[in-house]
Amino acid sequence: MKVILIETVPSLGKAGDIVQVAVGYGRNFLIPKKLALEATPANLQLLERQRESFLDKASKEKRKAQDLAVKIENLPFTLARPAGENEKLFGAVTSMDLQKVLNEQGIAVDRRKIQLPNPIKNLGSFSIPVKLHPEVTAHLTVNVTPAAADQAKS
């Protein structure tokens, strides 16, 4: 079955693309969730009329993501965490912690976009990719430092 994507679907394509999918996937998932339309002649004509608006919307989203990426890359992040011997943390730094730090800086990012493969369990400097758009990835630099002794006890 051929469908016209209304929204960008990561595994299929961008908004405005015409793709071939399994009938069940199209009818039971894409169309009910308003991610796609069936590729009928009437819908294809509608697509041609709306192609410019799709392109404008996509370019605005990409530009917005690029601006956010520059903002993320220029902010210094330092997290103080209690640590033991051999620079091992008591606990870990997770994507939720990073999301909280970004929110405190006024940057709203979904934690699933923070691509932290494993929680950070050591002191040091880490570069963490943040996928803001299919074509834009920012690199968040986080310095994990030991917390002060009086802070660790409280």
Each residue's pLDDT, cut to its tens digit, for the chain (154 residues) gives 999 998 888 889 888 889 999 999 999 999 999 999 999 999 888 888 877 777 788 889 889 999 999 999 988 888 888 888 888 888 899 999 999 989 988 888 888 899 998 999 999 999 999 998 888 899 999 999 998 654 444 4
Pick the CATH number of 2-64 from 3.30.470.30, 3.40.5.10, 3.90.100.10, 3.30.460.80: 3.40.5.10
Residue 37 CA to residue 54 CA, distance in Å, equals 14
Q: CATH 3.10.430.100 spans which residues of the chain?
A: 70-153
pTM given for the model: 0.67
| Class for the domain spanning 70-153 | alpha beta
Amino acid at 111: R
* Closest by CA position to 16, among listed 66, 137, 43, 136: 43
Residue 93 CA to residue 4 CA, distance in Å, equals 41
Query: Buried b / exposed e across 9-20, counting CB within 10 Å, b at 16+?
Result: beebebbbeebe
Q: CATH 3.40.5.10 spans which residues of the chain?
A: 2-64
Amino acid at 79: L
3-state SS, the chain, equals CEEEECCCECCCECCCCEEECCHHHHHHHHCCCCCEEECCHHHHHHHHHHHHHHHHHHHHHHHHHHHHHHHHHHCCEEEEECECHHHEEEEEECHHHHHHHHHHCCCCCCHHHECCCCCEEECEEEEEEEEEECCEEEEEEEEEEECCHHHHHC
Question: Quick one: pLDDT at residue 149?
Answer: 53
Torsion of CA 152, 74, 140, 72, to 10 degrees: 110
Q: What is the CA radius of gyration of the chain?
A: 21
Residue 135 CA to residue 63 CA, distance in Å, equals 10
